[in-house]
Structure 1
Amino acid sequence: MITRRLLIGALAIAPLAACQTAQQPQSVAAADPYEGWYVGFMPDQPHNVPLVDRRKMDAKYARQTVAYNGPEKPGSIVVDIDERHLYFVQADNTAIRYGVGVGKQGFSWRGTATVGRKGVWPAWSPTKTMVGIKPDLPRHMEAGIDNPLGARALYLHQNGADTLFRIHGTNEPWSIGEQVSSGCVRMLNEDVVDLYERVPVGTMVYVKRNGRYRV
């Protein structure tokens, strides 16, 4: 079993994420919220990816292939904020569907973007806005299990500029299916690794709320 000892520092650092959790659900607000959530590791470099015990999660957020008849082209990413699902559209009227955590009320972003760049075990730095809200935030955090961006990140750009929104991994698996972040889309680390391998830079991303992604 993977415990907090193996995820040292994660509990202390995770709430400082760019897409930070405002409050842990009461069901996991224990002395060690990581207890029982992990069942092993997936080999990766430079860090192994902790694997989540899927029995702890609602089955509707499990990665699966589903029918998909939306207008987006194969190879696109579609995020449905209301459903808490991300779809990777395929060519046979199907999509790979992943459970995600999304922005809390008032922080959710919608629109179209492209994957401007990709990061493996990315470092993290807070935005000026976040530092203004929480002056004690670290100004930089190196990659690792305790980094709030997790194992992979897809950086969303519009018109060649970074939107500061990301699709990224998380070290808070209980937040999948919740409206908890500061706007980014968070995935299980094992799921974001899977998605990362499927999408190149330049991939179209559609983030919709109330059935629309056009503001």
Structure 2
Amino acid sequence: MEEKQLWVVIMQQNKRLAESRCSALLDEGKQKYNVGDKMGALKLFERCLNQAPSLEQRQAALFSATAVHASFGDIELAQITLRDGIGAGLDFDAALKDPDMVKFQGSPQVVIQLRKFAEAVRRIKAAVSPDASPGRAPPRPTGPRAVLSADVSDMLRTELSGIDPSVLGVIKRVAGLLVAGLLLGTVLFYVGLKLAFPDYT
């Protein structure tokens, strides 16, 4: 019995230590985010998620990661972290107004799109699990509802194949977009010249 109690005490201490580390990572991540170091902030938010955070910390880290992706205009990755956040009980609209959360810096169009996505996720999850509510992680369904839940997850899943959610993956995606935009702009420029001056050689 004493050995079991000792094990419980050790587990509780480890949990408190992990939550303390996660809290420090979140604070440092917010500071980097506020000064414009979005990539540095994203690394810290991801490290927090790997520290066995509390439910509230997990919600904050996922919302913060969503804010980073949204600031780059990367809707796909923003939807992935937002979906995970809602699965952990995140209330997206409330988080947008929460002064303790990072300030969302995505464009109005991105915010509107993510709001619609969050509402769609919330409604479908509510249909699968009527007892689910913001701020509380929904119970894991069993039996036929488990099958329905899996189907819903497939419906909500953004296309993960070929999408690397890591910091390096984000850098590669942004660089690819810049290169593609530059090439397209160059082609359109020469096409425009040809149309405007057909006899120009």
TM-score range, shorter chain: under 0.3
Instruction: Pick the structure with more strand per residue.
Output: 1
- The higher radius of gyration belongs to 2
Determine which structure has greater relative contact order: mean sequence separation of CA pairs < 8 Å that are 6+ residues apart, divided by chain length. 1
TM-score, normalised to structure 1, is: 0.22
